Amino acid sequence: MKYQILTFGCQMNVSDSIWLEQALNAQGHVVAEQEDEAEFFIVNTCSVREKPEQKVYSLLGRLRDQYERNPAVFVCVGGCVAQQVGTGFLERFPFVRLVFGPDGLVMVPSALQRLLDHDKLKLSLLDFSEHYPQRDNYLPDTLPPQAYVNIMQGCNNFCAYCIVPYTRGRQKSRAAQDIVQECQELIARGVKEITLLGQNVNSYGQDNHAEDVTFAQLLELIDALPGLKRLRFTTSHPKDMSSDVINSFKSLHNLCPSLHLPLQSGSDNILKAMGRKYNQKQYLNLIDMLREACPDITMTTDLMVGFPGETDGDFQDTLHVMNRVGFDSSFSFKYSDRPGVRSAQMEPKISEAVKTERLQILQKLQEDWTLKKLQSRIGRKDEILIEGLSKKQAPEAVFWKGRDSGGRVVNILFNTSEDQTGRIVEVIFTRAKKHSLEGEALL
């Protein structure tokens, strides 16, 4: 049958959707090029913020039209909103026949077959697994140059604003042997860059069912795999960033000089209210240690404005840390209450107008820092892993898009139109744009 997977939210969801597509293709299903050609849909949802959740309901309203034109069409809803709302989706939307949470993902291919065999059946896969839900691999013979590998599921931190522990469950580390084996299989199929994924990769190996392997040791095992050119990981929690992991940026050959380290707020008062378990001084000490180990490291972060009780002084503390660190880029957003989390009961709430104003100020400051950081690369050289043709093209030139070792987007001028996907080429940076670089290949 023809299908489409529609994905919202984090890189974990993207990785889950890639696995689902490979599993469905292995069963003989085919991706529909157009939405109106699809016979079933899988919607992989996110509830970390309010906006993605609203988009899910809007999308389901649109898919209702597909169902009304063809009652055989059905929808499967998965991810964090599915875990949160549960069977309410089955009751509210007659065309939704399957809901599954993050731990139920592994059972979706077999559940789909049951739905196809019994056209009136509806199913829910919402139980949490005590151990990491191991998946079969359905890898094609050749793969893109970049791949993502899940190393854990869930989170034990219970930050006051975060719904993840309630929708993805408690932390479960995946067996190191299984992770390494998957990485080997990916490399054998042409993958050159691997990104390790988890809600808090720094705490890998610290849960009840884990093996005696730390995250730093796991990095060392994967870094040594023959054929691997680049290694990355996300996301990290500052409270669990160990000196061994920091030293990995100095000692490991393939670990890229880039790190996403969520700050959320620069105010000690707000960090304490959030339950983040670090303060401004401790965060800045980590930054100093990272830059001592790897002076050219690219630093990115997450920033939140308008957490309950945030004063003008608290907000100024966040701006101070931004200027002290000089982040290369950041994901920033306004606080919103999520159902069932502690901060939903916290007061005083910040008005929407104040949140909007603070976000604009913060994002303008980040734009200035991003441009400054990109301009500092002009005239320098780096190796770029090419991902494919760039959207930017010129009448007399061909541009390809890739990323440098720090993860920055680079549009590269070539004198050839031959496929460059997967190549690693040396490039000299010639121009800084608002969010990317341009460069010329040194062939």
Burial 107-146 (b: 16+ CB within 10 A, else e): bbbebbeebeeeeeebbbbbebbeebbebeeebeeebebb
Mean pLDDT for all residues in the chain = 94
Using the predicted structure, report yes or no on whether residue 52 has a pLDDT greater than 90: no
pLDDT digits (tens, 9 = 90+) for 382-420: 999 999 988 887 777 788 999 999 999 999 988 777 889
pLDDT at position 301 is: 98
Neighbours of 423 (CB within 10 A): 16
Asked if the peptide bond before residue 102 counts as cis, ω within 30 degrees of 0, the response is: no
pTM of the entire predicted model:
0.93
| All residues at 6 or more sequence positions from 420 whose CB lies less than 8 Å from its CB, including other chains | 386, 400, 414
pLDDT digits (tens, 9 = 90+) for 57-116: 899 999 999 999 999 999 999 999 999 999 999 999 999 999 999 999 999 999 999 999
Distance CA 158, CA 342 (A): 9
pLDDT digits (tens, 9 = 90+) for 161-176: 999 999 999 999 999 9
Average pLDDT over residues 303-326: 98
Is residue 166 within 8 Å of 100, Cβ to Cβ? no
Q: Residue 47: pLDDT band by 50, 70, 90 thresholds?
A: confident
Using the predicted structure, report yes or no on whether residue 330 has a pLDDT greater than 90: yes
pLDDT digits (tens, 9 = 90+) for 183-235: 999 999 999 999 999 999 999 999 876 678 999 999 999 999 999 999 999 99
Average pLDDT over residues 321-342: 95
Q: Give the Å distances, CA to CA, from 110 to 31, 116, 129, 218, 319.
A: 18, 10, 17, 32, 50
pLDDT at position 141 is: 87
| All residues at 6 or more sequence positions from 177 whose CB lies less than 8 Å from its CB, including other chains | none
Give the pair of three-digit tokens for residue 393.
């093209």
Distance CA 379, CA 182 (A): 38
Q: Residue 249: pLDDT band by 50, 70, 90 thresholds?
A: very high
pLDDT digits (tens, 9 = 90+) for 344-384: 999 999 999 999 999 999 999 999 999 999 999 999 999 99
Q: Give the Å distances, CA to CA, from 333 to 47, 56, 304, 336, 370.
A: 14, 19, 5, 9, 17
12 conformational bin, left if phi > 0, alpha if psi -120 to 50, beta if neither: alpha
Among 1-5, 51-55, 290-294, the least confident range: 51-55
Bridge partner list, 234:
197
53 conformational bin, left if phi > 0, alpha if psi -120 to 50, beta if neither: alpha
Using the predicted structure, report yes or no on whether residue 51 has a pLDDT greater than 90: no
pLDDT at position 210 is: 67
190 conformational bin, left if phi > 0, alpha if psi -120 to 50, beta if neither: left
pLDDT at position 418 is: 85
Average pLDDT over residues 9-31: 94
Neighbours of 314 (CB within 10 A): 20
pLDDT at position 392 is: 80
pLDDT at position 331 is: 97
Domains of the chain, CATH where assigned: 2-125 (3.40.50.12160), 146-375 (3.80.30.20), 381-441 (2.40.50)
